[in-house]
Structure 1
Amino acid sequence: MSQISISHLSFNYESSYENIFEDVSFTIDSNWKLGFIGRNGRGKTTFLKLLMGLYDYAGVIAASVDFEYFPFAIQDPSQLTQTIVDAIYDDYPLWELQRELSLLNLDPELLERPFETLSRGEQTKVLLAVLFLKPNQFLLIDEPTNHLDLEGRQIVSAYLNKKQGFILVSHDRTFLDNCVDHVLSINKMNIDIQKGNYSTWLFNKQRQDQFELNQNKKLKQEIGQLKTAAKRTENWSNAVEKSKNGQRVSGLRPDRGHIGHQSAKMMKRSKSLEKRQQISVESKEKLLKNIDWADALQIRPRSYQKNRLISANNLSLYYGDQPILENLSFEINQGDRIAIVGPNGSGKSSLLKLLLGEPIRYSGSLELGSQLQLSQIPQDTDLLTGDLRDFSHGERIDESRFKTILRKLGFNREQFEKSLGSFSEGQKKKVYLARSLCQSAHLYLWDEPLNYIDVLSRIQIEELLLQTPPTMIFVEHDRSFIDHVATKIIEL
């Protein structure tokens, strides 16, 4: 076992005025299974690339192991999978590769297929198998779950649970719980390491947040009392000062020297109270430095004129002449939150596209309520262009409300000035999420809404959907989200 030491690390991009990391120091053991979490845009992938030596930085990163980053860049996916594997690392016994593939429930015969013919989940598993063939490596695994279905996530988390010596960036809470023994979190104001899995970290964070909120409530009361006392003293001081120029009493002129002295004492007391008040305000600001979800999200679902919104009977979808799914029957009634689950390629996204009115060939019956108002989150974010103002105006949503939602989801104000093309994948997904939350709809159709979205935002979204439940149908691979939110499940 060896240690990876980070000392006084500071870094910022040339295009940014703010440091992403500033004077950060901590130590990692090289045999840890380390989960890495934090809001989108806080620098998780940047930190991994700093470990790889891809950026210049201030400070020291010291390690006696080499770092290997996942996912690998594949130059020519038309090549055989075996050729892709050998290009990444070729110094291994074949039986070791076959063992790793077997642990990931993959048939070794797929090595003889072109890499591009493998599903995205199969590609992810093959590249993970290669990753763990390399000796004396500390592995930097960046969001491996994005292209894995529920079964694939279970297989990969069980696989990683048997390994050690890695940092894993993932936003899937169940996945993290199954395969990490430490958590590294990038918070609003610091970086923290805790022993345990994600659930342990969340319990400790919620307890600390609640403590800070309770202390903040006390401080607010104290500040209110200080304001009242300071204002009262200021009023006394002003009244005494005015009396210096008052009328004579019984022919006597007021003692302006004495009154001025009293006025100065009261003014000094007022300034002292004001200073105490300011110190309390500063204490409050420091106390709440790491609370990430103080403000709740909001949604405005519309009530439909009838209880039933959609009805399907013996529905089959086709890609050309090939059926994608067959003989599916279901109903969507007001208040339903329906999760569509199934392996990749089973027709989940195609079903949502059909409900949205896209030209998908089908047979059977499908009845949609008249004048049904829909709101969607697409799976693909590649079409985002321009900036947030252009986007909100083009979508005819309230710009102020739209940006307020993004602020609650962890955006900083500097992000509002950037082009959408420069956003991370998680930030792009949040743009579509915020758009949907701005739209008042009868039915919300969300296709993998949590892809790339950080765990803290997932908790916010869950709480929103449970407190103000809309009628919705969604595709998602996050087991924790499905268990908490779904009222019904359609399994393909």
Structure 2
Amino acid sequence: MSLINISNLTFAYDGSYDNIIQQASFQLDTDWKLGFIGRNGKGKTTFLKLLLGQYDYSGKISANVEFDYFPYEVADEQLITMEVIDEVCGPYQQWELVRELSLLQVDDEVLWRSFGTLSHGERTKVLLAALFLKSGHFLLIDEPTNHLDREARELVCNYLNKKKGFILVSHDRFLLDNCVDHILSFNKSDIQVCKGNFSSWWENKDRRDNFELARHEKLQKDIKQLGASARRMADWSDQVEKTKVDTKNSGLKVDKGYVGHKAAKMMKHATAVANRREAAIEEKSRLLKNIDSSDSLKIHPLTFHTSKLLELENVSIFYEGRTACQQVRFSLQQGERISLKGKNGSGKSSLFKLICGEPLCFKGNFRRESQLKVSYVPQDSSFLRGSLTDYARESQIDESLFKTILRKLDFSRVQFEKDMADYSGGQKKKVLMAKSLCEQAHLYIWDEPLNYVDVISRMQIEELLLSYAPTLLFVEHDSVFCEKIATRQIEL
């Protein structure tokens, strides 16, 4: 066991006016299984790169351990997988590699295939196995389960649960609840380290937020009452002064001692009220700074004139010279929220493209209502370029509504001025989601909408779907999200 000490850490990218990390100080134990959470753009990946020494910073990072980052970048994907493993972890015993691969249920035959031919799941498992062969290293694991199907996610979760000595960046609540024992949270205005999993952290956060909101409401009432009291004091003071003037003009003798004593007493009381009001305002200003904005989202689904929107009977799709899926059979009724399940490569995205009207080669019977309006969120977001304003205009959506939704999804206004190509993966996904929420449609088709999207935003989207109940066909590997949202599941 050793400690990683962070002291007064501050970092900002060149040309940026805002610090991503500001005067951060905390301590981590290298024996921990540490879940790392925070809103998109809060600096999680940046912090990992600071630990790796990739950026200059002010403050101090001290550790008696070497760091390794996942996912490891493979420069030449034509290399045999065994050669890639040799590059990643250096000297190791062959039996150790076999042991790690067996824990992840990876067949030894992948070792002799070129790395580029492996699926996303196989690549993730092989590189995790290679990284955990390094003894004495602290692993920085950055969102390992994106694009993995649920079965692969559970395997990775079980594997990590048996390990220790890592930081895991993830937005998957199932993963964070089942394979970590501490949480590092980059919050709105501070950084928090606590013992437990995501659910215990969220429960404590919810309790703390509710306390702050109740305290904030009480202080608002106190400030209002103290303000009224101060105004009454001012009125009384004016009346005392007025008695001086009135008695002087009327020729009456004034008891100056009494009036002076009364004025001094009122002044003392007024000063005390003012001090209490300022103290209440100052305390109120310290509250709510760490409560993440999670304003309710809205969607405006259209109602179709028939209940059945589409139907597939024994549909097989042939895509890029291969069979993408075979003998698919289901129908979609208005108001349903169907989760399409299946391993990576089982043809889910191809089905979505067919339903959205792409000219794919298929056999079987496929019927879709001709006047059906569909809003589609694709799996890939790498094509996003240019400004949000131009994107809203090209997509024929209301720019003001579009940006309002992004603000509710925790976009800062400074992000509106940036090129979308510079956004993080989570921010790009939010752009696609916000566009879809702006569109009035009979059917919403979302292909892995939550990849890279932070936990709080996932909860906002869950609340939206449960409140407005649009007709939805989606693929998502977040098991918690699927259990809450899907009215029916179909497995390919």
Q: Distance between the aligned counterparts of 2:484 and 2:436, measured in 1?
A: 20
Aligned to 1:68: 68
Amino acid paired to 1:75: A
Aligned residues: CA RMSD: 2.7
What does residue 154 of structure 1 align with? 154
Instruction: Note the C-alpha offset of 1:246.
Output: 8.7
Does 2:412 correspond to 1:412? yes
Q: What is the letter of the counterpart of residue 103 of structure 1? A: L
Q: State how far apart, in whole Å, the 1-side matches of 2:184 and 2:345 are.
A: 34
Tell me the amino acid that sits aligned with residue 385 of structure 1: R
CA distance in 2, matches of 1:384, 1:254: 81
Three-state SS of the structure 2 residue aligned to 1:144 is coil
Aligned: 1:341 with 2:345: no
CA contact (8 A) 2:304 2:442 kept: yes
Paired amino acid for 2:359: P
The answer on 1:319 being equivalent to 2:315 is no
Please tell me the residue identity of whatever aligns with 1:355.
I
**Residue in structure 2 matched with residue 163 of structure 1 by the alignment:** 163
For 1:249 and 1:364, locate their aligned partners in 2 and report how far apart those are by CA, in whole Å.
105
Quick one: structure 1 residues 238 and 343, their matched pair in 2 at CA, closer, same or farther if it must change by over 3 Å?
Answer: farther
Greater CA deviation, 282-291 or 23-32?
282-291
Give the alignment of 1:228-239 within 5 angstroms. 228-233=228-233
Structure 1 stretch displaced more, 339-348 or 229-238: 229-238
Q: Which residue of 2 aligns with 1:452?
A: 452
Q: CA deviation digits over 1:441-483, x for unaligned, max 9?
A: 2111111010001111111111111122211111100001001
CA contact (8 A) 1:241 1:260 kept: no
Identity between Structure 1 and Structure 2 (%): 55
1:64-86 per-position Cα deviation (integer Å, ceiling 9, x unaligned): 11111111111110111111111
Give CA deviations for 1:14-56 in whole Å, capped at 9, x if unaligned.
Answer: 2211111122111111111000000010010011111111111
Is the contact made by 1:314 and 1:365 (CA closer than 8 Å) also made in structure 2? yes
1:125-274 matches, within 5 Å, as 125-233=125-233, 273=273
| 1:423 aligned residue | 423
Residue 116 of structure 1 corresponds to 116
1:150 and 1:477 in contact (8 A); partners too = yes
The residue that corresponds to 2:305 in the other structure is: 305
Q: Which residue of 2 aligns with 1:354?
A: 354
Q: Which amino acid aligns with 1:366?
A: F
- Quick one: which amino acid aligns to residue 354 of structure 2? L
Match of 2:315, as an amino acid? L
Partner of 2:41: 41
Flag the 1:261–1:437 CA change in 2: closer, same or farther, 3 A: farther
- Range 459-468 or range 214-223, more displaced: 214-223
Corresponding position: 1:465 with 2:490: no
Aligned-residue offset at 1:284: 2.3
Greater mean deviation of Cα atoms: 357-366 or 167-176: 357-366
Give the whole-Å Cα distance in 2 for the aligned partners of 1:356 and 1:260.
Answer: 84
Whether 1:51 aligns to 2:51 is yes
* Contact 2:294-2:457 at 8 Å conserved across structures: no
* Greater shift in the superposed pair: 133-142 or 300-309: 300-309
Name the CA distance, whole Å, in 1 between partners of 2:132 and 2:177: 20
**C-alpha deviation, 1:377, in angstroms:** 1.4
Aligned equivalents of 1:237, 1:298: Cα separation in 2 = 52
How many residue pairs are counted as aligned between the two chains? Answer: 492
Name the aligned partner's letter for residue 25 of structure 2.
S
Task: Give the Cα separation in 1 of the matches to 2:306 and 2:233.
Answer: 63
CA contact (8 A) 2:303 2:442 kept: yes
Change in Cα spacing, 1:260 to 1:153, as seen in structure 2 (3 Å) is same
Residue 474 and residue 271 in structure 1: after superposition, are their counterparts in 2 closer, same or farther (change >3 A)? farther
Inter-partner Cα distance in structure 1 for 2:465 and 2:161: 32
**SS of equivalent residue, structure 2 residue 61:** strand
Secondary structure of 1:214's match? helix
Shift of 1:9: 1.2
Per the alignment, residue 474 of structure 1 pairs with 474
Structure 1 residues 270, 473: CA separation in 2 closer, same or farther (over 3 Å shift)? farther
Paired residues of 1:293 and 1:460 also in contact (CA < 8 A): no
- Secondary structure, counterpart of 1:101 in structure 2: helix
Q: CA deviation at 1:283?
A: 2.2
User: 1:237–1:264: 8 Å Cα contact kept in structure 2?
Assistant: no
Asked if the contact 1:231–1:270 (Cα under 8 Å) also holds between the matched residues in 2, the reply is: no
Retained in 2: the 8 A contact 1:33–1:182? yes
Query: What's the secondary structure of 2:309's corresponding residue?
Result: strand
Q: Residues 124 and 147 of structure 1 are in contact (CA less than 8 Å); yes or no, is this contact kept in structure 2?
A: no
Instruction: Give the equivalent residue in structure 2 for 1:81.
Output: 81
**In the alignment, which residue of structure 2 is the partner of 1:15?**
15
Cα separation, 2, equivalents of 1:393 and 1:378: 19
Please give the per-residue CA displacement for 1:107-152, whole angstroms capped at 9, x wherever unaligned: 1111111111111111111111110111110010011001311010
Determine the structure 2 residue equivalent to 1:382: 382
State the TM-score, normalizing by the size of structure 2.
0.92
Matches of 2:385 and 2:243 in 1, distance apart? 67
Larger deviation, residues 351-360 vs 295-304? 295-304
Contact 1:244/1:260 (8 A) holds in 2: no
DSSP-derived class of the 2:35 partner: strand
Q: Any idea what SS the aligned residue of 2:456 has?
A: helix
TM-score, normalising length: structure 1: 0.92
> What is the rounded CA distance, in whole Å, between the counterparts of 1:394 and 1:268 in structure 2?
65
Alignment deviations for residues 314-368 of structure 1 (CA, whole Å, 9 cap, x no partner)? 2221225633222222222222111111100001111111111112222222222
In structure 2, distance between residues paired with 1:198 and 1:439: 33
CA contact (8 A) 1:234 1:267 kept: no
